[in-house]
């Protein structure tokens, strides 16, 4: 069996765009006629340029190769151009192609992917969701309303979720780490209090940031929200200086989490050495299923846990689920529930009362609606997500609007 053909679909979720402006889906076909789907979570360049990167990686390292040879294809891609180091864009391309190989292998053997990477550890996978506006909420004011966030948290708990994520701490900006405004700290405390008061001990609070703070700023913020016992303090400082995570981890009594912008075990191992104990790989970027299985094994030796990240489409979600089903040190799995996420895989994987059952169908266990994906092409020039240019506003306050780019 050899990999023969590649097709790339850049599809755009409708407004409000939960999951980013677009998702890059890849479809591989073997010379035996088996198709496999993957998703590339790479956003450093525009989608048109990224399709050329994906095709280049495929033609150099995947085409005419047996899809079983995942390790060989990884080593060749990782070493591409005499680099042999983490490369966000190239490894993003590789990750989606690698996920598609596992989909093919599972279908060829008529077994779910989790069977092929160690077997079943978790038949029911504990999930969490970001706090999104409910139908009666005003979109603009939701992001600065602790009361509305508490309502959204209550809705999730009523549906069976046992963990909720929110990030009221101001803008993420291309200017790097900044000191939070006092209003950002006060807003963060208010959100934590309102949500904790609403859900009590029925759900963990997951405090999200986006690497936007200086190290002293992250420590000030983290210490302010400590009384509400968040389960994690997510990416408190920029991911390009892992040593600073250690300073935050030593100063704040909340577990530090990170990983959505990291790739390969080289970067995740450095985070573990810096005291991070919750890893959040996005499998469409981190190196695919096999490399992230290795990351989970490394994390075990540090007594650390895995919480696969999702701000993309349902193909990456499916890959996350199979990893989560097979590893012993799973903490949580991120989910996004929208009609478009569900319809794109024809409802083939469901969330049941806040948990995801391990899929039983072959491969990734998803049935792709290819016509729906093609009927919603992305036609803009923006990136999947973009940093803002404006600095933190210390006079009038800030509002991070949930990463929702679609108008």
pLDDT at 407 over 90: no
> Nearest to residue 96, comparing CAs of 295, 368, 284?
284
Q: Helix (H, G, I), strand (E, B), or coil: what is residue 111?
A: coil
Please give the share of the chain, as a percent, with pLDDT higher than 70: 98
pLDDT at 16 over 90: no
C-alpha dihedral sign at 227, 160, 119, 285: negative
Tens-digit pLDDT profile for residues 371-390: 999 999 999 888 998 888 88
Structure-token pair, residue 161: 């979720």
Q: How far apart are CA 119 and CA 139, in angstroms?
A: 43
Structure-token pair, residue 214: 């200086």
Q: How far apart are CA 68 and CA 9, in angstroms?
A: 24
pLDDT at 319 over 80: yes
pLDDT at 401 over 80: no
Burial classification of residue 36, based on how many CB atoms lie within 10 Å of its CB (0-12 exposed, 13-18 middle, 19 or more buried): buried
> Nearest to residue 222, comparing CAs of 196, 256, 268?
256
| Dihedral pair phi/psi, residue 250, rounded to 5° | -80, -20
| Dihedral pair phi/psi, residue 288, rounded to 5° | 85, -170
pLDDT at 236 over 80: yes
**Mean pLDDT over the full length of the chain:** 95
Q: Quote the pLDDT of residue 406.
A: 47
Place of tokens 């990351």: 295
DSSP string of 136-174, one letter each residue: TS-HHHHTT-HHHHHHHHHHHHHTT-SEEEE--S---BT
Give, in degrees to the nearest 5, the angle at Cα 71 between 309 and 57.
Answer: 75
| Dihedral pair phi/psi, residue 352, rounded to 5° | -120, 105
Q: How far is CA 407 from CA 72, 270, 374, 403, 404, in A?
A: 43, 38, 20, 12, 8
Place of tokens 């209003």: 183
Q: How far apart are CA 291 and CA 259, in angstroms?
A: 14
Choose between 140 and 334: higher pLDDT: 334
Can the peptide bond before residue 16 be classed as cis, meaning omega within 30 degrees of 0?
Answer: yes
Where do the structural domains in the chain lie, given as residue ranges? Answer: 3-110, 115-364
Tens-digit pLDDT profile for residues 79-115: 999 999 999 999 999 999 999 999 999 999 999 999 9
Q: How far apart are CA 140 and CA 133, in angstroms?
A: 10
CATH ID of 3-110, from 3.40.120.10, 1.50.40.10, 1.10.600.10, 3.30.390.10: 3.30.390.10
Q: Helix (H, G, I), strand (E, B), or coil: what is residue 241?
A: coil
Q: Which CATH code for domain 115-364?
A: 3.20.20.120
Residue 394: count other Cβ atoms within 10 Å of its Cβ: 15
SS3 for 67-85 is CCCHHHHHHHHHCHHHCCC
């Amino acid at each position: 069996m050899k990999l023969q053909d590649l097709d790339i679909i850049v599809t755009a979720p409708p407004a409000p765009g939960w999951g980013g402006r677009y998702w890059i889906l890849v479809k591989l076909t073997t010379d035996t006629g088996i198709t496999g789907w993957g998703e590339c979570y790479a956003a450093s360049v525009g989608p048109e340029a990224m399709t050329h990167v994906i095709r280049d990686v495929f033609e150099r390292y995947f085409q005419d190769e047996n899809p079983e040879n995942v390790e060989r294809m990884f080593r060749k891609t990782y070493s591409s151009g005499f680099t042999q180091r983490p490369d966000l864009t190239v490894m993003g391309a590789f990750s989606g192609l690698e996920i598609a190989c596992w989909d093919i292998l599972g279908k060829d053997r008529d077994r779910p992917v989790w069977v092929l990477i160690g077997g079943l550890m978790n038949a029911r996978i504990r999930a969490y969701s970001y706090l999104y506006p409910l139908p009666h909420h005003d979109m603009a004011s939701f992001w600065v309303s602790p009361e509305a966030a508490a309502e959204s948290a209550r809705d999730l708990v009523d549906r069976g979720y046992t963990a909720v994520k929110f990030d009221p701490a101001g803008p993420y900006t291309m200017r790097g780490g900044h000191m939070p405004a006092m209003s950002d700290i006060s807003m963060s405390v208010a959100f934590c209090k309102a949500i904790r008061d609403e859900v009590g001990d029925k759900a963990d609070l997951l405090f999200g940031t986006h690497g936007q703070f200086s190290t002293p700023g992250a420590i000030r913020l983290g210490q302010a929200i400590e009384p509400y016992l968040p389960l994690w303090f997510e990416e408190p400082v920029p991911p390009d200086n892992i040593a600073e995570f250690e300073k935050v981890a030593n100063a704040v009594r909340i577990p530090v989490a990170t990983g959505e912008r990291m790739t390969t075990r080289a970067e995740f191992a450095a985070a573990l050495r810096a005291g991070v104990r919750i890893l959040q790989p996005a499998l469409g970027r981190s190196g695919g299923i096999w490399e992230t299985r290795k990351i989970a094994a490394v994390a075990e030796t540090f007594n650390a846990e895995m919480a696969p990240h999702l701000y993309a489409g349902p193909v990456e979600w499916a890959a996350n689920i199979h990893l989560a089903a097979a590893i012993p040190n799973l903490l949580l799995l991120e989910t996004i529930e929208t009609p478009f996420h569900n319809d794109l895989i024809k409802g083939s994987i469901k969330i049941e009362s806040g948990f995801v059952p391990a899929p039983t169908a072959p491969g990734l266990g998803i049935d792709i609606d290819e016509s729906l994906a093609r009927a919603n092409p992305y036609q803009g020039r923006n990136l999947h997500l973009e940093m803002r240019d404006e600095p933190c506003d210390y006079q009038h306050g800030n509002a991070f609007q949930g990463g929702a780019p679609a108008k």
